[in-house]
Structure 1
Amino acid sequence: MVNIRDLDPSASPLDYYGSELRRKREGAGMTQEQLGKCIFCAASLIGQIETGRKIPTRELSDRLDAALLTEGFFGRLVGLVLRSVLPSWFQQYAEMEARAAFISSFHAQLVYGLFQTEDYARAVLGVRSDSDIDGLVEARMERQRILERDTPPLIWGVMTEAVLRQEIGSRAIMREQLQHLLDIQHRHEWAKVQVLPYKAGAHAGLMGEFTLLRFDDDPDLVYTEDFVQGHMTANPQALREGSLRYDHLQASALSVEDSAALIARVMEERYGDQLRPDGRPVA
């Protein structure tokens, strides 16, 4: 039995979620063990969530709603919880990203967060994080829900060839990630990827990665990051410079079709199945 500690529901979305889960579970006359069996998880996990020690997932939240007959309460609340898990300096950007009508991103080292697979995100976030890695990954995946909206933002991503060739996690993870990039373009007309090849040489993105957010009813924004935190501004001069740099990057990058061909080639040549002399795949 997990020791119960009182939560202040106003302290954070996570504490509110935990206190409400305990209240609604007890109101249904269920123990942690009974609820755990009902939604196919350990009683200890219910206890950790009720005491604010574990971040709930969206899948778990949907199961809680079904078991406790809460009409989507936890499913609606979990989005707020997961956004609160993001670094405080990133939360405002995530909110604006979710509202944007058009997103233009340039990345030189990593796949853009909205295009990452779960395993790729886990490998990236696990490099230096000492927090709940499962919660951080779930929060990143939650950001991607905007891609499934009835009217998703138009997204154009430019990335360097180095992003494709830098092995993150494992060869299998990279193969899945590159296939995911191809699938995104195949399934969604509103999402496009261009690759800036090595042969482009010096380019307009050498000063760093950045993202442009455009809105229907709000001022446009440009977002950049340093090694400490992110910076977002609506300064007209910064927007003009960012837009000009992005135009140059798109002009220097391969076409969408040629980019897809390069992604597919790297996927097969660098991360495809390789055989040992005995004919068995290399791990």
Structure 2
Amino acid sequence: MVHINVLDPGASPLDYYGFELRRLREAADLTQRQLGDVLNYTGSLVGQIETARKVPTLEFSERVDAALGTGGLFSRLVVLVLRSQLPAWFRQTAELEARAIEICTFQTNLIHGLLQTPAYVRAVLGVLDKSDLDDRTAVRLARQRVLGKSDPPVFWVVISEGVLCQEIGGREVMREQLAHLLSFEDDPRINIQVLPFAAGAHPGIQGSFTLFRFASDPAIVYTEGYGSGHPSANPDTVKDCSLRYDHLRAAALSLKNSAELIRRVMEERYGEQRLA
């Protein structure tokens, strides 16, 4: 007799998702394999998700909703599941991203997570640890849904020119990543500026930071260290970082010139015609 793992639906969002998936699949009188065939996934994957051994994706959830007629239940649940899989120290920041009406960030080393491509994410997350890389990549990419909301935040990004030159994942990955940045050129809510090397010493030289502004709550500054995040609503800190950000935007290239530099780096440094 096959032992069936019974989940405690109150243990975590992932357990609740698996519990409901099994309950509604059985109510539809479908085996895991049969549901997998309908979804175009394997029955094994369905079983892993039902037993909380695999993290579901948004695409999987949308297909389940369509197949079982659940009215968007799993598409809503998966948002909670994916957020719960973020590192504990980062979950509060993901909530800030989801609530903010304006996000202003300065990045010295990496493309911001809300603008990373899947291949770039995998390269970043897999530097020292390649375990569960598919799941961890899906979890990070799920954060980007905030930019696709009906009323998304205004997102202002200033990146150091060095971010464009730091080859993450290889030339093909970088070319795709820079092309992704250029895809936002005509989106007035997503503004990308490059702080050139020629700027020299600048107000953000101490490191990356992000400002979150909300409709009615005080603004919050977020900085990050190794395995830890540091949000602060201290008015003096917010005022200081707001001033620094204004100066960074002033020192950075214009939106048009930034796009031209990104395009030039993409073609000259990572272009297909360039010899390896």
Which residue of 2 is the match for residue 55 of structure 1? 55
Which residue of 2 is the match for residue 164 of structure 1? 164
Is residue 195 of structure 1 aligned with residue 194 of structure 2?
yes
Which residue of 2 is the match for residue 262 of structure 1? 261
Q: Report deviation, 1:228.
A: 2.4
SS of 2:184's equivalent in the other structure is helix
Is residue 215 of structure 1 aligned with residue 243 of structure 2?
no
Q: Report deviation, 1:203.
A: 1.3
SS of 1:55's equivalent in the other structure is coil
Which residue of 2 is the match for residue 65 of structure 1? 65
TM-score normalized with structure 1 length:
0.94
Does structure 2 conserve the Cα–Cα contact (< 8 Å) formed by 1:2 and 1:48? no
Does structure 1 conserve the Cα–Cα contact (< 8 Å) formed by 2:157 and 2:193? yes
CA–CA separation in structure 2 for the residues paired with 1:214 and 1:77? 26
CA shift in 2, pair 1:2/1:36, >3 Å: farther
Name the % identity. 57
Which residue of 1 is the match for residue 116 of structure 2? 116
Which residue of 1 is the match for residue 38 of structure 2? 38
Question: Structure 1 counterpart of 2:220, which letter?
Answer: L
Does structure 2 conserve the Cα–Cα contact (< 8 Å) formed by 1:106 and 1:159? yes
Is residue 98 of structure 1 aligned with residue 98 of structure 2?
yes
CA–CA separation in structure 2 for the residues paired with 1:64 and 1:3? 24
Q: Report deviation, 1:167.
A: 0.7
Which runs of 4 or more aligned residues in structure 1 lie more than 6 Å from their structure 2 counterparts after TM superposition?
none
Which residue of 2 is the match for residue 78 of structure 1? 78
Which residue of 2 is the match for residue 181 of structure 1? 181
Question: Structure 2 counterpart of 1:232, which letter?
Answer: P
RMSD: 1.5
Question: Structure 2 counterpart of 1:59, which letter?
Answer: E
CA shift in 2, pair 1:45/1:203, >3 Å: same
Q: Which runs of 5+ in 1 are unaligned?
A: 277-281
TM-score normalized with structure 2 length:
0.96
Q: Report deviation, 1:131.
A: 4.4
Comparing 128-137 with 219-228, which one deviates more in the overlay? 128-137
The total of aligned residue pairs comes to: 276
SS of 2:185's equivalent in the other structure is helix
CA–CA separation in structure 2 for the residues paired with 1:154 and 1:213? 10
Which residue of 2 is the match for residue 229 of structure 1? 228
CA–CA separation in structure 2 for the residues paired with 1:228 and 1:173? 25
Q: Report deviation, 1:88.
A: 0.9
Q: Report deviation, 1:130.
A: 4.9
Deviations along 1:78-136, whole A, 9 cap, x unmatched? 00000101011111111111111111000000001111111111111111335422222
CA–CA separation in structure 1 for the residues paired with 2:16 and 2:130? 23
CA–CA separation in structure 2 for the residues paired with 1:118 and 1:8? 32
